[in-house]
Amino acid sequence: MAERLLEVNDLTVDFTTEDGVVHAVGGVSFTLDRGQVLGIVGESGSGKSVTAMTVMGLTRDINARFGGEVLYQGRDLLEISDTEMQNYRGNEIGMIFQDPMTSLNPVYRIGEQIVEAIQAHEHVDKRIAQKRAVELLRQVGIPNPESRVDDFPHQFSGGMRQRAMIAMALSCNPSILIADEPTTALDVTIQAQIVELIAKLKDDFNSAVIMITHDLGVVADIADEILVMYAGRVVERAQTRDLFYDPQMPYTWGLLGSIPRLDRPRPERLHSIKGAPPSLINLPQGCKFRPRCPHAFEKCTQEPGLENRVETPGHLDRCWLDVEYKRAHRDDAISGGASEAA
Amino acid sequence: MSTNGAGPLIEVRHVKKYFPIRKGVLQREVARVHAVDDVSFEVREGETLGLVGESGCGKSTLGRTIVRLLEPTEGKIIFRGHEIERLGHRGLRPLRREMQMVFQDPYASLNPRKRVGSIIGDPLKIHSIGNRESRKKQVEELLDTVGLSPEHYNRFPHEFSGGQRQRIGIARALALRPKLIVADEPVSALDVSIQSQMLNLLEDLQNEFQLTYIFIAHDLGVVRHVSDRIAVMYLGKLVELSPAEELYQRPIMPYTEALLSAVPIPDPDLARKRERIVLEGDVPSPINPPSGCRFHPRCRYATEICREVEPPLADYGNGHLAACHHPLNVDAATLATVHAAPESPREADEAALPQDSSGESHPPG
């Protein structure tokens, strides 16, 4: 049994805004063990980033209300003070953001920014920190790190900036690396490089990874377990293979069906989920996906719990539909009718 | 999804677009960015041409040059038989009705201070089409066509989600009933479930209004879904042009092969099994592009000739063109019939046709 690093229990996050209370996260639970890669998949506004940022203590704000617990090695991160949080942030949990263009400071050299991160957490000599920065850049695959360490962010390409961000996140050897859409802003070729790099570094640093993305394809070959989020809730949670080969939530089918796939014949039309995600201020009654779900029936006006409804233990979903009915009907949604184009 | 196309709607012939880099007080030109470097192709009426490549390959610049938002440095652009590459503002005005553009970022491409009604209606007003009432009616119809509600007429862009804004952008492009729409990454800023809605909408509109699309994107899955033919660009050059399905079944240029293998597949078993060709490093600078074949520093098949001689665009039959000294997925019989295509860049050595094929290669997936 691997070491349990993180346990999130029934986490809720509400933000008070001028327009009303935004229920960003409504009862999310998951666990993360050392060596594991957890994928969190969802669209914008599904609460995936807020969940991750709350784990990092980045949503602490006068307008934010939290519920539940975020246990890092047994310690509840929601309870500790801001100064104590500083010891966890970066040191124990590192984060990579989506946009490598805006998350680096343009007026400081890459090396200085990494050195700053190291010195914020450890009392080390600047020379030693500088050496470590070079070493980190080498580990994330920057060519000629000795000279590139003195470059400014604009001298780096998008992929290299993301590598530099990863180097910075790893600078204090955190146990958990949270990657929030790390590849969305990058080209496919660079995307493949970065995903491979994150998987490799996880082993090199013996850490765990939370990979947040809207693209199921990105997590398919590296995640061990996947959470699918919708309107602030986890609507399906399963081991990666179970999620792809036995998906239980119609929303997951929709996500799978919306991706134009290279491994299948081109369908006449892509499957699409009608409508748009609900407002987090006025959530629909019952199942949050009900207004967009083609299979909704009366019972869906009550919200289903996240429960194990299939034979596989650990495969949880929030759907009232009968499992056999779903297995018989989901292929239409996933393969978009899979009629081959002429 | 193509309708019965006639001749070419637009022809691009040896188009170059260089951007000067100026320095010093005298603003002397010290270097040039070779954004688009001698590209030729044609787009037939009613078809969708996909234009793919990594960022910095010049695909957006080419798209903008085609609709004449930019003036080409060299070359010809022929739209419905008329040369349009040197037309001025006045000359272009009637053409603007026939070619429109849909932009990538639905947040940046709509004026936040204008109401939806005038965003979509202004093109009609500029071209003095109809009167106030008829224009309003037309805008409401357009809103309906793209899946919005006519009541949205008086709203501002910030009241809409990303997907809805992109629909507004599409309605604006449609207002003048253009023949050609250049869509520059129209879905890459949207969520997956909204992406598929948008792709289906674009497909419906094409059938309804007999549109011709040039669809620029870096996502090969999306491009395959919408395109009849696909052009692959690398560092300002057209490196492969092929009917859509054929490109995926048998890529000839190693760069295309690498691009295809990098596309994530939402199937864990397949994703683990398949061979991924991870390209080393980044796209080189278009200021000093590599000699010979521009892809050679990152190509795993590169040899001496690739460093020295720029390969011509060779015609492999069935409208499949590729520029490579070591083509993949080509048998000896086809190789014997290969000839340089008229689309070849002028600087390429037409005699340097591929002699050998690099043999076995694995199609993606």
CB contacts, 8 Å: B267 with chain A: 220, 244, 263
Q: Which of B251, B247, B249, B200 is nearest to B226 (CA)?
A: B200
Q: Which of B226, B235, B185 is nearest to B34 (CA)?
A: B235
Contact A164, A100 (CB under 8 A): yes
Mean pLDDT of B62-67: 94
Contact A167, A188 (CB under 8 A): no
Q: Is the Cα dihedral B160, B164, B165, B170 positive or negative?
A: negative
CA distance B82 to A10: 66
Q: Is any Cβ of chain B less than 8 angstroms from the Cβ of A128?
A: no
CA angle B251, B46, B119 (to 5 degrees): 110
CA A144 to chain centre: 31
B-chain residue closest to A141, CA distance? B281
What is the C-alpha R_g of chain A? Answer: 21
Q: Do B365 and A263 touch (CB under 8 A)?
A: yes
pLDDT for res A209: 96
CA distance A193 to A142: 12
Pairing relationship of beta strands B229-234 and B212-217 according to DSSP bridges:
unpaired
Q: Is any Cβ of chain A less than 8 angstroms from the Cβ of B4?
A: no
Q: Does residue B5 have a pLDDT over 70?
A: no
C-alpha distance from A275 to closest chain B C-alpha (Å)? 8
C-alpha distance from A254 to closest chain B C-alpha (Å)? 7
Q: Do B220 and A190 touch (CB under 8 A)?
A: no
Question: Nearest Cβ partner of B195 from A143, A258, A266?
Answer: A258
Q: Does residue A65 have a pLDDT over 50?
A: yes
Contact A301, A312 (CB under 8 A): no
Contact B137, B120 (CB under 8 A): no
CA distance B200 to A311: 37
Q: Does residue A90 have a pLDDT over 50?
A: yes
- DSSP 8-state code for residue A250: H
Q: Residue A76 is encoded by which pair of tokens?
A: 């509840």
The structure tokens 């299939």 sit at A310
Banded pLDDT at B4 (limits 50, 70, 90): very low
For helices B254-262 and A188-204, what crossing angle results, to 10°? 60
User: Which residues make Cβ contacts (< 8 Å) with residue B335, sequence separation at least 6?
Assistant: B327, B354, B355, B356, B357
Pairing relationship of beta strands B314-315 and B339-340 according to DSSP bridges:
antiparallel
The structure tokens 């910075």 sit at A168
Q: Do B263 and A241 touch (CB under 8 A)?
A: no
Q: Does residue B1 have a pLDDT over 50?
A: no
Q: Do B191 and A273 touch (CB under 8 A)?
A: no
Q: What residues 79-98 of chain B have any CB closer than 8 A to a CB of chain A?
A: none
The structure tokens 């419906």 sit at B204
Q: Is any Cβ of chain B less than 8 angstroms from the Cβ of A189?
A: yes
Q: Helix (H) and strand (E) counts for chain A?
A: 11, 12
Q: Does residue B191 have a pLDDT over 90?
A: no
Q: Do A221 and B271 touch (CB under 8 A)?
A: yes
pLDDT for res B15: 96
pTM over 0.90: no
Q: Is any Cβ of chain A less than 8 angstroms from the Cβ of B287?
A: no
- DSSP 8-state code for residue A21: E
C-alpha distance from B161 to closest chain A C-alpha (Å)? 9
CB contacts, 8 Å: A214 with chain B: 191-192
Q: Do B200 and A270 touch (CB under 8 A)?
A: yes
Q: Does residue B364 have a pLDDT over 70?
A: no
Q: Does residue A76 have a pLDDT over 90?
A: yes
Contact A204, A169 (CB under 8 A): no
For helices B192-209 and B162-174, what crossing angle results, to 10°? 10
Contact A235, A250 (CB under 8 A): no
Mean pLDDT of A325-340: 72
More confident residue, B236 or B355: B236
Banded pLDDT at A323 (limits 50, 70, 90): very high
Contact A184, A98 (CB under 8 A): yes
Q: Residue B152 is encoded by which pair of tokens?
A: 């949205």
Mean pLDDT of A38-66: 92
Contact B328, B260 (CB under 8 A): no
B-chain residue closest to A239, CA distance? B268
Q: Residue B29 is encoded by which pair of tokens?
A: 């030109």
The structure tokens 């491009």 sit at B223
Q: Residue B82 is encoded by which pair of tokens?
A: 């008329």
Q: Is the Cα dihedral B66, B70, B71, B74 positive or negative?
A: negative
Q: Is any Cβ of chain A less than 8 angstroms from the Cβ of B358?
A: no
Q: Is any Cβ of chain A less than 8 angstroms from the Cβ of B246?
A: no
Beta bridge partners of A135: none
Question: Nearest Cβ partner of A220 from B163, B262, B264?
Answer: B264
Please provide the distance, in angstroms rounded to a whole number, between the alpha carbons at the two ends of chain B.
24
Contact B325, B311 (CB under 8 A): yes
CA distance A230 to A47: 7
**DSSP E strand boundaries for chain B:** 8-23, 28-44, 48-52, 74-79, 82-83, 99-102, 180-184, 212-217, 229-234, 237-243, 314-315, 321-322, 339-340
CB contacts, 8 Å: B271 with chain A: 217, 220-221
Contact A111, A131 (CB under 8 A): no
Mean pLDDT of chain A: 90
What is the C-alpha R_g of chain B? Answer: 22
Q: Do B225 and A260 touch (CB under 8 A)?
A: yes
pLDDT for res B336: 86
Q: Does residue A72 have a pLDDT over 90?
A: yes
B contact test, residue of A181, A219, A272 with most B CBs within 10 A: A272
Q: Do B191 and A43 touch (CB under 8 A)?
A: yes
Q: Render pLDDT for A192-239 as a digit per residue (tens, 0 to 9).
A: 888 888 998 999 889 999 999 988 988 998 999 999 999 999 999 999
- Among the listed ranges A40-54, B167-181, B266-280, B301-315, which one has the minimum average pLDDT value? B266-280
Residue A14, phi then psi, degrees to nearest 5 = -120, 140
More confident residue, A277 or A14: A14
Q: Which of A93, A67, A101, A121 is nearest to A232 (CA)?
A: A67
Q: Do B265 and A217 touch (CB under 8 A)?
A: yes
Q: Render pLDDT for A126-175 as a digit per residue (tens, 0 to 9).
A: 999 999 999 999 988 888 899 999 999 988 888 888 889 999 998 888 99
Q: Do B192 and A214 touch (CB under 8 A)?
A: yes
Q: Residue A315 is encoded by which pair of tokens?
A: 């495969």
